[in-house]
A and B are shown apart, each in its own frame.
Chain A
């Protein structure tokens, strides 16, 4: 469903990708593991078009997207949830959802605010509250809900567990599994191996812009050497 082939990309001087190839399928949760600065965020930003690749091919749902603008990619049904909870703090919860709204598409689950409030019950009580006035955990939920309003068939999550209380992270894990149940393709970047273990089917390990390892979570769990080399655990 989502595929990168030999993609090279640069975001500033420090964040560079070299000949990166990866893929993720419908109904699958794939995790990018790696240290800070390894290139996880740059990979996701390149997929959504915020960083223009220097070389290589990216395809999504059978279409080439590496030359498209972010909004065009988003309109094809690829959702992006940034790190650091970039909600619109001046806008109400409902207005945040409105910004993400797109026409429903075939082959992807269809979301309405009401259906999202079932997934994120906390948000239901604060529809008119300004984004600035909800807690960090609720903001993280809102960034995901907002992206789902675009009825995506695949979703990119940049470090969804970062800076959240463990109890919220557990909730996040349940949400991701529910999205998988709905048939979404989920690609997330993560540093927290515990969290990756809870949600992911497959993993790629990135280091200094190169993919160093790929395999199922079970294979990774069995490969102590890879974990020691790239994740130091």
Chain B
């Protein structure tokens, strides 16, 4: 590639960095003040793209019409963000952080279906920017004028944000609330207003970041989650809460991606290598490198534990004999069920068993080990693909099923090595980013994984071919896996995990290598998630990249949180309810996502402690009431 071509790609990268920066800055601001990781931030971006598209159509394609539409789209999304904050998130500030996250994910589902309803499933390409639709000759190449404008826009917004945050009273209050919002309130700062304004600004930036993309990128329904993963990477690389860091990271990642596309296919020493295929992975490589060298991001500062954030978990008691009897009875009931139920119910029950194990393995690291994972589906998917691939490469089904979890465990061991270097929301974002890597590899590697089509013909062995036989296999493996995970929590290793969560400082001071314990815990959870994935693959007979996509990871989160993270059995209850719900409503309506999102919102608002947590509270209240 010639020098001038590199230069042009550099400009191209800088242009896309601007949009990325705007969205990331918004996410960072919102997180700083409200402590909410806004999953719906990508959806706000998507709304910006679609709204701008429609507005340009309405206003006409003149200079005023185009820029008016872009700005109006940003403002509309900003107002929408403010409404969301006032009507919904406001009610959740006292709820546990993870439930707030769940609520924002419900918004993702609802906004996605809203966009589907309003704009349809087709990709929509916006018009070129009037007056800037030409190209300038630079170094003998043609560079779109619009790109040059975008390149300038990023630093301008950065400068404006910097002035806003450091030179105005509002900015001082935002920075104060970011550090200690309770204290700011006690000093007379009206947090309620501050939160709404920050949310509106963040949403405006996301909407604007989307709107300016319309001449460059078509509006697609899946862009909400793909930009979200990019933005997480930018925020983590730049350093959470650092606006200049977000800018720097956006530039680095934007440029590297553009370079990879520009370089294209290279052949050296007789080996063909496609750099353009690297684009999806390159940002994650950057992130991994940065995190190893600077765990808090390029310009971030090591974060103390935010005040009042450390929730006190209830003690974990050994199950009472009555409870053990209850478990035994439940298992017996499950074992007897095939005698009375139809084929359809058995298939659904098999699904529930698979997802119960998946959810319990996620709970294992999220609850007792205190590591919030947003990307647990990676290990479910690795297990599923490993099973399918081993089977396709002529291993007997039984052996494939046995080995697949170890493949997932190895994956978790590799990814976990990076993840346990971080904590809190950084760790969560990193897990999501790794899941996205795994997904993009699977998605792109047509020759090996079947690409977007996945793999078909992954059928169980003859003796397990019947639905009833397979149900028993699933029951044995999944219930067995769940019991093993639960039992481990009562072992010394389980205590070490909880010790590291409760007080890393104290755990370190009594000689526990917290990071190592977390790493092993992470791998163990990955192993069992892989087992669930492997069973899943054979139960369906096929496997697609969906099995390790972000929505699948979030399904796991919903199950754990809906069930209640503070109870062991919660994950199972959550998995059962969620799987049944999804199955039921996806057969009712095309807009099942929105319906599911609505149900999640309802549950979050009504049962902030989760279903199992709610039942336990009721139980304790009754027990307490009868005592005195």
Contact = CB atoms under 8 A, between A and B. Distances in A.
A88 B179 contact: yes
Interface in B180-197: 180, 182-192
A69 B172 contact: no
Contacts of A56: none
B194 to A, nearest CB: 10
B627 interface: no
Nearest to A143: B183
Interface stretch (A93-101, A114-122, A200-208, A218-226): A93-101
Contacts of A88: 175-176, 179-180, 183
A150 B188 contact: yes
A50 interface: yes
B169 interface: yes
Nearest to A48: B186
B175 A74 contact: no
A86 B184 CA distance: 10
Nearest to A101: B169
Interface of B is mostly: helix
Range of interface residues on chain B? 20 to 34
Contact of A150 (B175, B178, B187): B187
A71 B182 contact: no
Contact of B175 (A75, A90, A100, A147): A90
A71 B183 CA distance: 10
B188 A100 contact: yes
Contacts of A95: 172, 175-176
Interface string B184-214: 1111111110000000000000000000000
B587 interface: no
B307 A99 contact: no
A48 B190 CA distance: 14
B432 interface: no
A100 B182 CA distance: 13
Interface centre among A12, A99, A146, by most chain B C-beta atoms within 10 angstroms, is A99
A111 B343 CA distance: 78
Contacts of B312: 12
B173 interface: yes
A22 B191 CA distance: 29
Contact of B185 (A69, A89, A96, A98): A69
Interface residues of A, number: 25
A110 B172 CA distance: 22
A96 to B, nearest CB: 8
A89 B302 CA distance: 13
Nearest to A131: B179
A82 B176 contact: no
Given A71-B190, A90-B175, A91-B175, A99 B184 contact: yes
A191 interface: no
A99 B176 contact: yes
B176 A91 contact: yes
B181 to A, nearest CB: 10
Contacts of A197: none
A99 B172 contact: yes
Interface in A109-153: 146-147, 150
A146 B182 contact: no
B173 A99 contact: yes
B188 A71 contact: yes
Contacts of B176: 88, 91, 95-96, 99
A80 interface: yes
A89 B183 CA distance: 12
Nearest to A13: B312
B187 A147 contact: yes
B187 A86 contact: no
Contacts of B185: 50, 69-71, 74
B175 A102 contact: no
B186 A99 contact: no
Interface in A165-192: none
Contacts of A75: 188
Interface in A59-79: 69-71, 74-75
B172 to A, nearest CB: 5
Contacts of A91: 172, 175-176, 179
A3 B41 CA distance: 46
B187 A100 contact: yes
Contacts of A12: 312
A49 B183 CA distance: 11
A86 B210 CA distance: 39
Given A90-B179, A91-B179, A74 B172 contact: no
A9 B483 CA distance: 42
Given A88-B179, A91-B176, A98 B169 contact: yes
A102 B169 CA distance: 12
Nearest to B241: A90
B187 A99 contact: yes
Contact of B186 (A80, A90, A96, A98): A80
Contacts of B186: 48-50, 70-71, 74, 80, 82
A185 to B, nearest CB: 17
Given A71-B189, A71-B191, A74-B187, A89 B182 contact: no
Contacts of A86: 180, 183, 307
Interface string A19-63: 000000000000000000000000000001110000000000000
A75 B182 CA distance: 15
A90 to B, nearest CB: 5
A82 B175 CA distance: 19
A210 B141 CA distance: 81
A13 to B, nearest CB: 9
B271 to A, nearest CB: 50
A91 B178 CA distance: 11
A116 to B, nearest CB: 14
B167 to A, nearest CB: 11
Nearest to B171: A95
Nearest to A132: B301
A29 B175 CA distance: 33
Shortest beta-carbon contacts, A-B, top 7: A74-B188, A70-B185, A99-B176, A80-B186, A100-B187, A70-B186, A86-B183
16 contacts: A69-B190, A69-B192, A70-B185, A71-B186, A71-B189, A71-B191, A74-B185, A80-B186, A80-B187, A82-B183, A82-B186, A88-B179, A91-B175, A96-B176, A99-B172, A150-B188
Interface of A: 12, 48-50, 69-71, 74-75, 80, 82, 86, 88-91, 95-96, 98-100, 102, 146-147, 150
Given A71-B187, A86-B307, A88-B175, 10 more contacts: A12-B312, A50-B186, A80-B186, A88-B179, A90-B178, A90-B179, A91-B179, A95-B176, A99-B184, A99-B189
